[in-house]
Amino acid sequence: MLILDIDRFRQVNFSLGYKAGDILLEQVAIRLQTLEHCPCIVQAGDDEFLLFLHASTQAELTQTIQETQYMFNQPFTVMKQECYLNVSMGISQFTMAPGTMEQALMQADHALLAAKHSGKNKLIAYHPSHSLRYISRIQMETELRKAIYDNQLILYYQPRLELSSGSIICLEALVRWNHPIQGIIPPNEFIPIAEECGLIIPLGEWVLREACRQKMKWTEEGILDYQIAVNISPHQFQEDAFSDKVIQIIEQTGINPTCLEFEITESSIMHNMDATIAILEKLCKKGVSISIDDFGIGYSSLNYLKQFPIHCLKIDRSFVKNIHNNQDDWAITNAIIDLGYALHMQVVAEGVEEMSQLEILKGTTCTTIQGFLLSPPVSVHELEQSFHLHDNRPVIS
């Protein structure tokens, strides 16, 4: 049993229209009907087809699969517009017997999910680990939903050091999941799930509110007088009421908005230029600073740097990592530093882990660094202990 899903079919509908999308699906179905050893084809969803393949030998099955893949190497023509389609496929082999078809369908579906999660545009045969992974993701999604509302999330903070003064000027808030059984779960294990299932919106709102609350507590105690940087996901930024929610949280917590910096990726701000400008100007007018996170690996359109009210560029760690032994990475890093300096922006080198990297950056106009050489992300307790231990001087080893 093979399940075939057309990748990014929604983009076809958006670009060519729904009528063109329907015509394209008809053409896909016509091609699939020419397959040998495929007695039954079912359109199982808007852009998904279920193929029952019947083969006497493994060679016959392999040939049918290859023919299926080859079909999508040829272009489709819709309304005089030529286009190519990529497909993800999951397959499960089974012998006809009572109860085996439903099991095979589930297995093929799990294999398809594995294909889509590992880059799309590929065929993956079912393996038992796919079901375990799928069940694990469902369980994690359920538990994450509870975690957001049951106070299982906590914020760690990673400092940013200004090179000219040698002082910490900002703390980046980074979410962790304090699971009651598994302990601390890092964000790379649950943020992708949150983005897929829509939980990234309430999760992001929790992070912003908690960061503001914590900053107000430090302000009242007269300690850790630094700006707080909060990561804003693309889904969060593109939400209709995003700026209004931000202003509401600022007013409810009482935080001075000039104490906030939002780290936004390039992909977040490039979808709707007019809407982006309106959102950023509204936030900046309130006093919030804007930084571009992971600069250099996204769109990197220099045009938006002059259109948007951006205060800071954060150089992606993938460039900074090898500046001491890779000329290309050093050239790109230095170019971004010079660009930020010329535009009067703060430039942050992320992922600084070795003294050799720091020494190179000190010889440039790079304004600030962040990374494990200065400090890993630490808990509120560790941060406060460090502050008090060093006579209220923020020295973090």
For position 9, which CATH number holds? 3.30.70.270
Which of 130, 162, 188 is at the close of a domain?
130
Residue 255 included in any domain: yes
pLDDT band at 397 (very low <50, low <70, confident <90, very high): very low
Tokens of 383: 């941060």
Which of 130, 149, 179 is at the close of a domain?
130
Question: Which of 349, 343, 278, 260 is closest to 305 using CA atoms?
Answer: 343
Higher pLDDT, 180 or 255: 255
The tens digit of pLDDT for each residue in 246-269 reads 999 999 999 999 999 999 988 788
For CA atoms 66, 68, 71, 73, the dihedral sign is negative
Question: Is there a single domain that holds both residue 110 and residue 189?
Answer: no
Strands (E), the chain: 2-6, 40-45, 48-52, 76-78, 81-83, 87-91, 123-125, 153-162, 167-179, 183-185, 227-232, 260-265, 289-295, 312-315, 346-349, 368-369
Question: Is there a single domain that holds both residue 148 and residue 124?
Answer: no
Which of 130, 161, 194 is at the close of a domain?
130
The tens digit of pLDDT for each residue in 327-365 reads 999 999 999 999 999 999 999 999 999 999 999 999 999
The tens digit of pLDDT for each residue in 160-172 reads 999 999 999 999 9
Torsion angle, CA of 60/62/68/74, rounded to 10 degrees? -110
Mean pLDDT of 95-111: 79
Does residue 135 have a pLDDT over 60?
no
pLDDT of residue 390: 60
Question: Is there a single domain that holds both residue 197 and residue 339?
Answer: yes
Q: 143 with 179: CB under 8 angstroms?
A: yes
Question: Is there a single domain that holds both residue 159 and residue 198?
Answer: yes
Does residue 79 have a pLDDT over 70?
yes
Q: What is the number of domains present in the chain?
A: 2
Question: Is there a single domain that holds both residue 143 and residue 120?
Answer: no
Does residue 126 have a pLDDT over 70?
yes
Residue 375 included in any domain: yes
Does residue 130 have a pLDDT over 80?
no
What pTM was computed for the model? 0.72
Residue 63 included in any domain: yes
Sole residue written with tokens 């890779």: 326
Does residue 96 have a pLDDT over 80?
no
Phi, psi for 107 (deg, rounded to 5): -65, -40
CA separation, residue 234 to residues 237, 247, 266 (Å) = 5, 18, 9
Task: Provide the mean pLDDT of the chain.
Answer: 89
Percent of residues, the chain, with pLDDT higher than 90: 57
Residue 251 included in any domain: yes
Question: Is there a single domain that holds both residue 120 and residue 158?
Answer: no
The tens digit of pLDDT for each residue in 184-223 reads 888 988 998 898 888 999 999 999 999 999 999 999 999 9
pLDDT band at 132 (very low <50, low <70, confident <90, very high): low
Residue 395 included in any domain: no
Question: Is there a single domain that holds both residue 179 and residue 248?
Answer: yes
Question: Is there a single domain that holds both residue 262 and residue 356?
Answer: yes
Residue 393 included in any domain: no
CATH number at residue 314: 3.20.20.450
pLDDT of residue 396: 42
Question: Is there a single domain that holds both residue 263 and residue 182?
Answer: yes
Question: Is there a single domain that holds both residue 121 and residue 166?
Answer: no
Does residue 236 have a pLDDT over 80?
yes
The tens digit of pLDDT for each residue in 47-70 reads 999 999 988 888 888 899 999 999
Question: Is there a single domain that holds both residue 237 and residue 315?
Answer: yes
Residue 101 included in any domain: yes
Higher pLDDT, 134 or 281: 281
Residue 9 included in any domain: yes
Question: Is there a single domain that holds both residue 202 and residue 330?
Answer: yes
Domain with 69, as residue range(s), is: 2-130
